[in-house]
């Protein structure tokens, strides 16, 4: 029997302040979080509480004020190709085809290697047959698939998902939830998702970290011990969702 997965991401006592003309603004105040290798963790909390700021700190795009922030036991000091962001608004290039977008970060590979990696990841996200299409010819969901394929192509071992489905219509958003769950299962990547959608968090994640309002900390971590695929009408699912909503309601009234 294999042992427990090692800790991939460790956050301890993380504080983050922004300097403004009116003085320091405290956004994060003593955040603690652990994410295991291969785990899918979602972060939810009140609007504007600092969820994306926390993600940016972990990815190395924002400097922390104080605290410990480690990935694979090493301090995070800058962004890395091993840790890739997928945003709400796709960052794919409109002048490149699907294949060219997916292979954009593979400049250090031979043409043969690049073609093989692109083909594998285009197939993984279900875009076979669209390799020569340009973004203007794709739906919103297909563009998001290109974004995921490009993130996977550079062989990242952590995916940071910052409201990745927020710009999609309701039907496409549901479809993409199923797709990212399938991709996560197929690749075994460590995933850290920020979302305002509690149902989305519960559908995708192994655990859901609930943040307080600003200055924020993680006040509750919910284990989602439900088999996949998950049914939002399942009483156990609804109970978890109601519990998180109740907790957030208490936090808003403080």
Note whether residue 232 is domain-resident: yes
Full residue range of the structural domain in which residue 60 is found:
1-77+192-254
Mean pLDDT comparison of 16-30, 139-153, 189-203, highest-scoring range: 189-203
Share of the chain above pLDDT 70, in %: 94
**200-210 pLDDT, tens per residue?**
999 999 999 99
Place of tokens 């990841």: 121
Note whether residue 168 is domain-resident: no
Give the confidence band of 2 by pLDDT, cuts at 50, 70, 90: low
Kindly report each contact of residues 227-231 with a partner whose C-beta sits within 8 Å and lies 24 or more positions away, as own/partner. 228/181, 228/185, 229/178, 229/181, 230/202, 230/203
Note whether residue 67 is domain-resident: yes
Domain total for the chain? 1
What does the pLDDT read at residue 51?
Answer: 93
Question: Is residue 117 a contact partner of residue 109, using CB atoms and an 8 Å limit?
Answer: yes
What does the pLDDT read at residue 88?
Answer: 63
C-alpha triplet 207, 212, 213: angle, nearest 5°: 140
**75-95 pLDDT, tens per residue?**
998 988 888 888 765 678 899
**For residue 19, what is the domain's CATH number?**
3.40.50.300
What does the pLDDT read at residue 25?
Answer: 86
At residue 152, the 3 state secondary structure works out as: helix
Average pLDDT over residues 1-29: 85
Note whether residue 242 is domain-resident: yes
What does the pLDDT read at residue 140?
Answer: 82
Alpha-carbon separation of residue 15 from 45, 116, 117, 196, 214 (angstroms): 17, 43, 39, 22, 12
Q: Say whether pLDDT at 12 is over 90.
A: yes
Average pLDDT over residues 217-234: 92
Note whether residue 203 is domain-resident: yes
Report cis status (omega within 30 of 0) of the bond before 73. Answer: no
Note whether residue 110 is domain-resident: no
At 25, list the tokens: 């603004």
User: What residues form DSSP beta bridges with 11?
Assistant: 33, 69
Note whether residue 13 is domain-resident: yes
Note whether residue 139 is domain-resident: no
Per-chain mean pLDDT for the chain: 88
């Amino acid at each position: 029997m294999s042992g427990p997965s090692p800790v991939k991401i460790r956050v301890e006592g993380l504080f983050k302040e922004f300097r403004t003309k009116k003085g320091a603004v405290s956004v994060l105040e003593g955040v603690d979080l652990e994410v295991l290798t291969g785990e899918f963790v979602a972060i939810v909390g009140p609007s504007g509480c600092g969820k994306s700021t926390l993600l940016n700190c972990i990815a190395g795009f924002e400097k922390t004020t104080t605290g410990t922030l480690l990935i694979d036991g090493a301090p995070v000091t800058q962004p890395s190709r091993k840790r890739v962001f997928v945003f709400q608004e796709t960052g794919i290039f409109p002048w490149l085809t699907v294949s060219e977008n997916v292979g954009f970060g593979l400049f250090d590979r031979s043409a043969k290697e690049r073609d093989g990696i692109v083909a594998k990841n285009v197939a993984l996200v279900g875009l076979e047959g669209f390799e020569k299409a340009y973004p203007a010819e794709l739906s919103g969901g297909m563009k998001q698939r290109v974004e995921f394929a490009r993130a996977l192509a550079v062989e990242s071992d952590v995916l940071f998902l910052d409201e990745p489905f927020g710009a999609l219509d309701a039907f496409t958003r549901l479809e993409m939830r199923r797709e990212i769950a399938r991709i996560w299962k197929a690749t075994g990547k460590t995933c850290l998702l920020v979302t305002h959608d509690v149902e989305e968090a519960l559908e995708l994640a192994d655990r859901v970290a609930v943040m307080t309002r600003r200055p924020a900390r993680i006040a509750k971590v919910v284990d989602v011990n439900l088999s996949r695929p998950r049914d939002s009408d399942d009483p156990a699912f609804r109970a978890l969702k109601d519990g998180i909503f109740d907790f957030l309601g208490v936090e808003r009234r403080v």
